[in-house]
Amino acid sequence: MKDQTKMSSEARQRLIMDRLKETNRAITGSEFAKQTNVSRQVIVQDVSILKAKNEPIIATSQGYMLLNQNEVDVRRSVIVCNHTAEQTLEELQIIVDHGVTVKDVIVEHAVYGDITASIRVSNRAEVNQFVKKINDSKATYLSALTAGIHLHTLEADSNDKIEAACHDLDAAGLLIK
């Protein structure tokens, strides 16, 4: 917005939903904040309200997206991996090079139970962006909580692609069978 008028919460939420419905790319909270002349934290609150209203919004490392509920032919598999933080790039590249999407990462925490974080990477550019964001923010991977052991939910249009990715992960010593 060019003027400094802030949008109402209801108007922002409508804008967020409209924008997410018209694109299949992730939109960052900062992008929404700029458009609506509010802080990113206000957008985070708006998205939380929308999720509470059962809107299928997911937060990924690239921004917000709508969960595609029309996925007809998506195969899913959960795999268990174990590796160092330095091997994360290799792991993710092996997976996406087979045409497989890494939906999330899951770790089992002693106190909190399962902790799941959306990743949503499908190609090398998204993998590189994800790893760069981790490095630039000096964040640690969730797998640091579990000495490198973690799960990924993989999605592809065929089981063969997931099996090929798993074969190469196993050959690289990154997969736990």
Q: At 71, is the pLDDT very low, low, confident or very high (cuts 50, 70, 90)?
A: low
What number is the average pLDDT over the span 64-75?
71
Topology given in CATH for the domain delimited by 75-176: Histidine-containing Protein; Chain: A; (3.30.1340)
User: Is the model's pLDDT at 7 over the cut of 50?
Assistant: yes
Give the per-residue SS3 of the chain: CCCCCCCCHHHHHHHHHHHHHCCCCCECHHHHHHHHCCCHHHHHHHHHHHHHCCCCEEEECCEEEECCCCCCCCEEEEEEEECCHHHHHHHHHHHHCCCCEEEEEEEEECCCEEEEEEEEECCHHHHHHHHHHHHHCCCCCHHHHHCCEEEEEEEECCHHHHHHHHHHHHHCCCEEC
What is the separation of C-alpha 86 from the centre of its chain, rounded to a whole number of angstroms? 19
Pair 39, 33: CB distance under 8 Å = yes
What number is the average pLDDT over the span 119-135?
94
Looking at residue 1, its pLDDT comes to 39
What number is the average pLDDT over the span 151-163?
94
User: Is the model's pLDDT at 85 over the cut of 90?
Assistant: yes
pLDDT tens for 86-118 read 999 999 999 999 999 999 999 998 888 899 999
pLDDT tens for 16-47 read 999 999 988 889 999 999 999 999 999 989 99
Q: What is the residue type of 177?
A: K
Topology given in CATH for the domain delimited by 9-66: Arc Repressor Mutant, subunit A (1.10.10)
The rounded mean pLDDT for the chain is 90
Percent of the chain whose predicted confidence (pLDDT) is above 90: 66
pTM of the model: 0.71
* Domains of the chain by residue range: 9-66, 75-176
Pair 80, 147: CB distance under 8 Å = no
Looking at residue 14, its pLDDT comes to 93
